Structure 1
Amino acid sequence: MSYTFWSFVMTAESYALMDGALHVYRRENSRFWQCSTYLGSRNHRQTTKEMSLAAAKDFARDWYMEKCVEDRQRRRGGLPLLANPVQPHIPEPIPVADGRLRQKSKGPTFEDATKAFLDEFEVITQGERNEGYVESKSIHVRVHLLPFFGDTALEDINAGKVQDYRVHRQTSRLDAKTGKPKKPARATLHGEIVTLRQVLKTANRKGWISAIPDMSAPYKTSGKLEHRAWFSPEEYRLLYEATRERAKNPPKPRWREVCETFHDYVLFMGNTGLRPDESARIQLRDVKIVDDESTGERILEIEVRGKRGVGFCKSMPGAILPFERVRDRKELKPTDPIFGKTPRELMNTVLDELNMKFDRDGHVRTCYSLRHTYICLRLLEGADIYQVAKNCRTSVEMIEKYYGRHLKNNIDASAVNVRKARPKAVAASKKSMKPKA
């Protein structure tokens, strides 16, 4: 083997295969990998026409085996090795965007990765994640990701391709009335990007891609922190007074029980801080009326089952009366749900009548706003933020980020309105400089 050839290979990016008998390397300023071996007292070189290292290695192994067969035939008097001479490699020019059809990349496709992801995700997360969350991953893949990426090779999915997907989702649907693009909600697009990242992580674990592309959103500025929609003490009073009046005088007589239950629901949620899905799961056996030792008041102790698993909640005293009314009205058994399905439609109707569907910042108020109201009212009353977070099964960070930043009681005026004391000599000199009357 010539010294010149091996000195060139050592300067290029090179990998040894087949116990060192085969080498895969790539020259500087070249997109394609090449392979070489030493057989029959001479060097053999061949371009793989592959930009992926994994695909180039597969090509090199097949090429090496063919060369070994030719060399064996030559030694046995068969086809001479030089009957099919290896053409010298000519570096290919950098392609120009002339619109001609290019060779498609080889290797696993995005569709292969999604199949592998869905097969393992459902099994691994069984019992650990909510069934609806697991199903949402399948919907993201089937409805949005697969139609866009399709049979695209995984190695061709880069940061630019991910950005193309964002643009596609923002412009692909048109509003039937206005004809303008109908953009998905920020949380919707974020969920789809999370699913895309999980699919690519699956491909990376299987060795189909060497790294996950940058999936951060470009041109993104620092987002403004906005508080969650809630009811101020005055607004909350207007809400439960309106639900009380509706319970006394329902629009139709047959709606009386529904309106009475909704009034109790508003009071119960505003005094417990439960999430709507948690209140929908609560059964009679999960609630106990106890005398609290620390406050001496009668409260509810609730065993909560929701997005964070099983937790516990201690209510305000105001939650007892609505709970007892619902229990007695429905004659509940221990396994019966207290409220059941979240009354979204009735909540929207009452908010529209009161013109309180949106807060002053344009945020939509829903049944979830009753939980936000509970947290904000507790902080306004000076409750310990850690205890509030523990009672609501959330974190102090979440409360500080989304609830506590807009509450005026969190600002200590004595720490803000500080005046630096001036030296006596300076104060006396300024006093002497004042003109006398």
Structure 2
Amino acid sequence: MSAKYGTITTYGERLISEAETLVALGSRSKTLVRDYRQRLEGHCKPFFGSQSVRSINTPRLKEFVAYLAAKGLKATSIHAILSFVSMTLKVAVDDGVLKAVPRMPRPSAKDNPRPWFSRQEYKQLLQTLRRLERASTPVVVRRWPITKELRSFCTFMVNSFLRPADVFALKHSNCEIVQRPDGIRYVKITLPSSKAANYPVITMPAAVEIYRRLKADHEKDGYGKSSDYVFLPQYQSRSYAQEIIRRQFGYVLGEADLKTTGAGAERTTYSLRHTAIMFRLINNEGLDLLTLARNCRTSVEMIDRFYAKHLDAEMNVAKLQSMKFPSRYGKSLS
């Protein structure tokens, strides 16, 4: 069929333009445009070419899935690309070119629980960080010496629930230390919308002192202003700062013998966020999943699929055995 009605590229560019507007308004993360562009240029455009959107149906989309799978993409990545295609075709529906978006194939995916650090492993990680940062001869990864800022990054991650990308985008203007009359304290973090969520993030109490110490250290070097980045403020390129931490963290994992989990899953800086979530699930003290999900800027479904799968009965045996009334076999644990 002729492409006179427009192609995936036609409407994909429109979708990207709309995304740029959302980013400019501050309602979506800058990564949205980058991700859309990569899905269009890297996958959709090479496959669909000049094919008219009117000729794209479910069988054709199944062929697209097979094409993506042959490139070695995992089901989660294929889902993201199909979601982009669906939104692109909705633009064509809005223009009256299509009556409806064709049914999208559903490539099956096995949910893999996220790699994290147990309490003992986390303690082992911190011990290794301290040893390396205090070495008589500085430990240099590539050309970047390991300092206590790396440990601050790790502990802040575990006490803030943030994604690595959000931590590197964090400026002091996004952070507010809150000290309540009842003694509760935390850092209230306000970031641009992420994955359709714009809730503020509330940290654990330990994050307050981690943040204060880090800011005080940076102020000695002329940083710490509201417009400065919280981590590695001397580097304006956030991708460069992230690369420094990524390489240093990988080196530390090797030194601590923690590169992979017992199941063989590879740990990354993202594992620190997973650890923060897992610690809350294990020591939940009655915390409901909706509150946790909102604070992590994700969904209850994602928490259940990718984190709660790590849980076993022994981790929360007290909760399992709790009772609202006395039992003939023992006192209530609730």
Per the shorter chain, which TM-score range?
A: 0.7 to 0.9
Aligned residue for 1:164?
Answer: 63
Q: Is the Cα contact below 8 Å between 2:190 and 2:201 reproduced in 1?
A: yes
Structure 1 residue 366 and structure 2 residue 268: aligned? yes
Runs of 4+ in 1 over 6 A off after TM superposition: none
Aligned residue for 2:169?
Answer: 281
Give the strand-richer structure, 1 or 2. Answer: 1
> Which of the residues 107, 115, 121 maps onto 1:229?
115
Instruction: Report the CA distance shift for 1:143/1:318 in structure 2 as closer, same or farther (over 3 A).
Output: closer
Deviations 1:413-435 (A, max 9, x none): 4489xxxxxxxxxxxxxxxxxxx
Q: Is the Cα contact below 8 Å between 1:404 and 1:410 reproduced in 2?
A: no
Aligned residue for 2:309?
Answer: 405
- Inter-partner Cα distance in structure 2 for 1:286 and 1:210: 44
1:232 Cα shift?
0.6
1:379 Cα shift?
2.1
1:252 Cα shift?
4.5
Q: Is the Cα contact below 8 Å between 2:133 and 2:148 reproduced in 1?
A: yes
TM-score (norm 1): 0.60
Q: Secondary structure at the match of 2:97?
A: coil
1:365 Cα shift?
1.7
Instruction: Report the CA distance shift for 1:241/1:305 in structure 2 as closer, same or farther (over 3 A).
Output: farther
Deviations 1:60-114 (A, max 9, x none): xxxxxxxxxxxxxxxxxxxxxxxxxxxxxxxxxxxxxxxxxxxxx3463553x53
Structure 1 residue 377 and structure 2 residue 279: aligned? yes
Instruction: Report the CA distance shift for 1:209/1:336 in structure 2 as closer, same or farther (over 3 A).
Output: closer
Instruction: Report the CA distance shift for 1:322/1:205 in structure 2 as closer, same or farther (over 3 A).
Output: closer
Instruction: Report the CA distance shift for 1:210/1:108 in structure 2 as closer, same or farther (over 3 A).
Output: farther
Q: What letter corresponds to residue 10 of structure 2 in structure 1?
A: K
- Inter-partner Cα distance in structure 2 for 1:144 and 1:403: 30
Aligned residue for 1:247?
Answer: 133
Q: Is the Cα contact below 8 Å between 2:5 and 2:97 reproduced in 1?
A: no
> Which of the residues 169, 189, 199 maps onto 1:302?
189
Structure 1 residue 327 and structure 2 residue 226: aligned? no
Provide the aligned C-alpha RMSD in A. Answer: 3.1
Instruction: Report the CA distance shift for 1:322/1:169 in structure 2 as closer, same or farther (over 3 A).
Output: same
Deviations 1:47-70 (A, max 9, x none): xxxxxxxxxxxxxxxxxxxxxxxx
Aligned residue for 1:206?
Answer: 95
Aligned residue for 1:350?
Answer: 252
Write the mapping of 1:79-90 to structure 2, written as runs, cut at 5 A.
none
> Which of the residues 28, 31, 36 maps onto 1:137?
36
- Inter-partner Cα distance in structure 2 for 1:136 and 1:344: 21
- Inter-partner Cα distance in structure 1 for 2:192 and 2:48: 38
Q: Is the Cα contact below 8 Å between 1:247 and 1:259 reproduced in 2?
A: yes
Instruction: Report the CA distance shift for 1:225/1:169 in structure 2 as closer, same or farther (over 3 A).
Output: closer
Instruction: Report the CA distance shift for 1:298/1:169 in structure 2 as closer, same or farther (over 3 A).
Output: closer
Instruction: Report the CA distance shift for 1:292/1:226 in structure 2 as closer, same or farther (over 3 A).
Output: farther
1:390 Cα shift?
3.8
- Inter-partner Cα distance in structure 2 for 1:237 and 1:205: 54
Instruction: Report the CA distance shift for 1:188/1:124 in structure 2 as closer, same or farther (over 3 A).
Output: closer
- Inter-partner Cα distance in structure 1 for 2:150 and 2:164: 13
1:164 Cα shift?
1.8
Instruction: Report the CA distance shift for 1:156/1:306 in structure 2 as closer, same or farther (over 3 A).
Output: closer
Q: Is the Cα contact below 8 Å between 1:281 and 1:305 reproduced in 2?
A: no
1:231 Cα shift?
0.7
Max Rg structure = 1
Aligned residue for 2:80?
Answer: 191
Q: Is the Cα contact below 8 Å between 2:16 and 2:37 reproduced in 1?
A: no
Q: Is the Cα contact below 8 Å between 1:244 and 1:260 reproduced in 2?
A: yes
Identity across matched positions, percent: 28
Q: What letter corresponds to residue 305 of structure 2 in structure 1?
A: K
Q: Secondary structure at the match of 2:187?
A: strand
Aligned residue for 1:119?
Answer: 14
Q: Secondary structure at the match of 1:300?
A: strand
Q: Is the Cα contact below 8 Å between 1:305 and 1:311 reproduced in 2?
A: no
Structure 1: any 5+ residue segments left out of the alignment? 1-104, 172-181, 417-437
- Inter-partner Cα distance in structure 2 for 1:107 and 1:314: 50
Q: Secondary structure at the match of 1:272?
A: coil
User: Please, which moves more after superposition, 193-202 or 238-247?
Assistant: 193-202
Write the mapping of 1:10-89 to structure 2, written as runs, cut at 5 A.
none
TM-score (norm 2): 0.76
Deviations 1:23-54 (A, max 9, x none): xxxxxxxxxxxxxxxxxxxxxxxxxxxxxxxx
- Inter-partner Cα distance in structure 1 for 2:120 and 2:291: 25
Aligned residue for 2:229?
Answer: 337
- Inter-partner Cα distance in structure 2 for 1:317 and 1:124: 36
Q: What letter corresponds to residue 395 of structure 1 in structure 2?
A: S
Q: What letter corresponds to residue 208 of structure 1 in structure 2?
A: V
- Inter-partner Cα distance in structure 1 for 2:177 and 2:246: 28
